[in-house]
Chain A
Amino acid sequence: MMLSPGDWQAVVLTLELAAIVTLILFVLGTPIAWWLARTHSKWKAPIGAVVALPLVLPPSVLGFYLLLTMGPNGWVGQFTNAIGIGLLPFTFWGLVVASVFYSLPFMVQPLQTAFESLGERTLEAAATLRASPLDRFFSVAAPIALPGFMTAGILSFAHTVGEFGVVLMIGGNIPGETRVASVQIFDHVEALQYGEAHDLAAVLLVFSFLVLLLLYTWRPKALRL
């Protein structure tokens, strides 16, 4: 099986996108998950619902809103234009922003579950030993929740690799910039090049299986959120 240079470019681009999105999600998702796990605020349910939205929303809804808000007439577009970074649709960083929204629940929910199972007593014990809140998080909570971090990272990464609808709507299919593997397969199929489509599809199939196999072998209950 031989992938063409264009296919390799799409695969590498996809992995770059997924890696960057996962890193950003660790930074953004951890405080959100921590807050959701510990708060008794009346905002817990609404914020939790907003975070979970991408699980049920069709990607076209997200893509449509992003295209309008990040476009020249949208407020995000006007903001990014004003600070000199131009417009986000049809750029790699536009895909990063979209994917962060799209994969957010896959980061937050496993982390939230992990933080909730910590229990108050462990943290209270640390507090009585005069550990600062930040210290309590990094020395006590984070190590215990490490498996949760692994699950969240793997799921966010894999979900971003599997993205298609949002990318189709805001990507513009530019080689090396926004043409990710899933879009490349779609193009092969539409151009009736089934051989190429098969090769690239097989790569994604094997990759996805291996990721899930790794996850299930290591944590059999990982996906029962």
Chain B
Amino acid sequence: MSQPLLTTHDLRIGYAAKSVAGPLNLSLQPGQLVGLLGPNGAGKSTLMRTLSGLQAALSGEIHLNGQVLASLAPTDLARKLSLVLTERVEAGHLRVRELVALGRTPYTNWLGSLTAEDQRKVDWALELTGTVAFADRRLPQLSDGERQKVMLARALAQDTDLILLDEPTAHLDLPSRVELMRLLHELARQTGKAILLSTHELDLALQAADQLWLMGTNGSFAQGVPEDLVLNGAFERAFTATGFVFDRLTGTFQLYPSPTGPAVQLTGEAGPLFWTRRALWREGYRTEPGAALTVEVQSDRWLIDGAIAVTSIQALLEELSKRLKGR
């Protein structure tokens, strides 16, 4: 493994009156997309603010590229670390290109004049984020998804080894979320930058992130490859306090954690089986091997008790309820 870009040593974060989390010993590798997950109140935002230097740590140290973060001058820090925030930026008449060029602020002279090198970096950032097409548009003419891509381009133009994104997908619709996550994953690979994003998007983070940082409400912390965290139960632990049950099998939260209705034995093809089980759980059925009532899932139909065939889950549910009433 290469030298980590960012490490923390016994970092405690929080506010004067209250410690939120710690001691944290984190590390961030170049070229990786890391997702920071946790329920509300676990301290995700506090950690992001602390790592980005906007807020002082209670104790412990943050090392960025071998230097202590707190000792860096503002301009030096701005050349190593850039931000994308949740808030919708309202900068009126700024054109996309001008906004991205603001990312060059730590490099320009006192008047903010752009050199040829600055222009090149801006072009590069626009191209990498696929925002060239609307470089001449103004901010109000962009969709929320386009806006966040532009803010990401601005962070890229800042030319830092580390990019922090604080819930960048919060205001986006599903396609924009997926697109942004995929873009971030590609960027980390292509540019060798380390990208850390905090998010509530469990599914997407599980799929796109190389590493996850999990913060629990009780101050617990776990770091690892997403799939490892699922298998070793870290996910369940981080979210236990929220009253939901995390299903290792599907990587999702159970809306109906423990059905108490009639038992059904469910067998058959994996794909349709998954969706059939979901429907049964929603209706309150338990799925248990060896139950008297059996449902066999076949490629294009469902066989109840080995005798009655139906062709949709709706028909299946109706048939099951009819049979149970008859008993």
Chains A and B bind each other: no
Chain A residues proximal to chain B, CB less than 8 Å: none
